[in-house]
Structure 1
């Protein structure tokens, strides 16, 4: 089973964070690198269970991205290419939280595969 989260790109993380707090009442937690975790229920953010994040706009993250949590990126990435998708970057470690890899599905939609450290082997 997979869990789906989201990532919103921003040119200014502080400005975007303030927007989502003020407009929707989301809770936010800045990480020690350029990323903000958010919980849409307004409760304090649990880094292991956040609903999504706000990230700097990058080559891959130009619009909203679905983050699909998987038990193993190494197992899922070959399935992406076998099903007609494309790997956009190599699997990367994200602090002490987990690993990510951006992919495109068969229709060109950018997705982010996520493997949490708790699930990593």
Structure 2
């Protein structure tokens, strides 16, 4: 089963965070690298199990983006290209939390592939 989360773009992270807290009762946790994790149930945000995030608006995150949890960003990125999609950036490490890579499907929708960091003794890469 694939887990899907969401990412919302914002020009002002604090303003966007207040909006979603005030309007929908979401809980939020600002990470030290300019990203806000959110939980739609209003409970304390669990970094490993957040529902989604609020991201600074970038060239890839211009509208809402689905974040798709995959066992391997490398493997999923290869399958995206094989199926006719495009890679938009290189795989990036996101703090101690995992790896991400933005891709575009065959219809022009932007997706974010997400690979959580595993036990440091377990090798990363193809799965």
- Report the TM range for the smaller structure's normalisation: over 0.9
What residue is the counterpart of 1:75 in the other structure?
A: 75
User: What is the CA RMSD across the aligned residues, in angstroms?
Assistant: 1.0
Deviation at 1:2, TM superposition (A): 1.4
SS in 2 for 1:5: strand
What residue is the counterpart of 2:95 in the other structure?
A: 95
What residue is the counterpart of 2:54 in the other structure?
A: 54
Deviation at 1:29, TM superposition (A): 0.1
Q: How does 1:1-121 map to 2 (within 5 A)?
A: 1-118=1-118, 121=124
Aligned length: 121
SS in 2 for 1:54: strand
SS in 2 for 1:113: strand
Structure 1 distance, partners of 2:40, 2:64, is 15
The alignment's TM-score, normalised by the length of structure 1, stands at 0.97
Structure 2 distance, partners of 1:78, 1:71, is 13
Runs of 4+ in 1 over 4 A off after TM superposition: none
Post-superposition Cα deviations, 1:8-67, rounded to whole Å, max 9, x if no partner, equal 000000000000000000000000111000000000000000000000000000000000
Deviation at 1:118, TM superposition (A): 2.4
Structure 2 distance, partners of 1:30, 1:78, is 32
